[in-house]
Every structure is written in structure tokens, then in C-alpha cells.
Amino acid sequence: MATLKKLKGIFWKEAQPQDDSDAKVPRVSLEPLKMPSSPVETPEEVDSEFYGAIEKEIAKSVPIEFAEYYNQMSVINDKFSHLDEATRYQLAFHAAKTALKNRKKNLTPDSLSRSIDHLKKVLETERQEFEAQNEQGYQTNLSGIQKKAQEMSRGVDAREKRLKALQQEIDAFMKAKNDEKRRLEDERAQLISQRVVAEGEINQLDQKKKERETKFNTALEAHHQRLDALKAELEDHLKDIK
């Protein structure tokens, strides 16, 4: 459907095959014409792409009576802009009525009103088609994004599991290192204590050695003195013996 493809291309920016249906369907071009300034004006905030696409679809369905009136209104607005609006509307109506009479068409205010009602039905059809396409485009894009999101979620889960396992490995490693540190600190403390004891024993040995040396030297000196005394006595008492 031409409308669906047009709006799909606008909204979802998807590449579409060239649509030649516009060239095959006779329609009235509204682009160069000016709609009456009252009662409706196009808001500035309306999206130009959507507005133009909808306008083209409306142009395909414009009844001949309304198209003629529309064209006459455009001409009169250009040439007689100094006239009040009501007068311009009436002049356009009579000019269009005359032109249509030659084509065996009868223009009435009621037929113009029905033409607008018809165009509003066209707008409703456009709305329904757009909503269907919009939902389809949304679901199509959503499916792809959701698939990516699911893949990302699986990636996140896998990395969270790996991070958890890695943290457990780090915790186990740190526990082992802390246990080893405590063991080494305990062993060091024990060795320090044993070294202090050993150093005390060394001091005791040094002291005992010195005490033994003192006692030995004292005893040795006593023997020297005794022998020296004995020698002196022998020399004294035996000096006359030959």
C-alpha cells in the first residue's frame, strides 16, 4: 500500500523501492495552492515530512468539486487579497460552480462539506494504516533491540559469574597469604624468643668461662706459690748437703 510505504520510510527511515503509483493515479496537486487562511492554519511545530506525505495522500482522494473550489480559492486569494475573507469565499464558490457546471457537476455548500468529511475519512484511514505500520516497525525494531539486550544480559551474567569466581580465587589467595603471613610472624616471634634465650645462654657461658678461668688461674697461682715456697725451703734447708 502506497501510504504505508511512504509513512514507513518517513518514520523508521527504512529504504523503500521507488513508488511509481503517484504517476499512475490522477490527482490534484495541492502544493502550489493556498488553503483559505481561516478557520485552520498549519501549526509551525508540525513535522514537515509527515505533513507533506499525508498531504500527498489526501491529494489522491480530493473530490473534483472540492478540487475546483480549492483552485478557484487559490487564484482569488492571489488576485483579490484586498477583499474580505467572506467575499473571497463567495467569489471562489461561484467561479467553481460555473466551471463545474460546464462539466455537468453541481457544486453546493453541502457538497463542499461532504468533500471535507470525505477527506477526514481519508485522514482516518491514514491514521489506521500508520498506526498499524508504526506498531509493525516498532515491533520489528524492538525485537532486534531486545535480542541485543538479551545477549548483553547474558554477557553481563557471564562476566558477573566470572567476577564472582575471580573474587573467590582472590579471597582464597589472600586468605592463604594471610595465613602464611601469620605463620611466618608466629615462627619469627618464636625464633626471636629462642634467640634471646640462646643469647642469654651465651652470656652465661661467657660468665662461666671467665669464672672457671679465674678459679683455675687462682689455683694455678697457688701451686706456683707452693712450689716456689717449697723450692725456697729446699734450697734453704739442703744448701749444705753435698
pLDDT at 233 over 50: yes
What pLDDT does 30 receive? 41
pLDDT in tens, 4-35: 444 444 445 444 444 444 433 334 444 333 34
pLDDT in tens, 43-63: 667 888 888 888 888 888 889
Angle (CA) 163 169 173, round 5°: 140
Write the DSSP string, 139-175: HHHHHHHHHHHHHHHHHHHHHHHHHHHHHHHHHHHHH
Query: Among the listed ranges 1-15, 39-53, 101-115, 120-134, which one has the minimum average pLDDT value?
Result: 1-15
Q: pTM of the prediction?
A: 0.49
Q: Is the dihedral of CA 12, 13, 14, 19 positive or negative?
A: positive
C-alpha cell read off for 204: 652465661
CA angle 114, 26, 129 (to 5 degrees): 65
- Indicate whether 3 pLDDT > 60: no
Q: What is the mean pLDDT of the chain?
A: 83
pLDDT digits (tens, 9 = 90+) for 149-167: 999 999 999 999 999 999 9
pLDDT bracket for residue 237 (50, 70, 90): confident
Q: How many Å apart are CA 208 and CA 214, to the nearest integer?
A: 10
The domain ranges of the chain are: 2-151
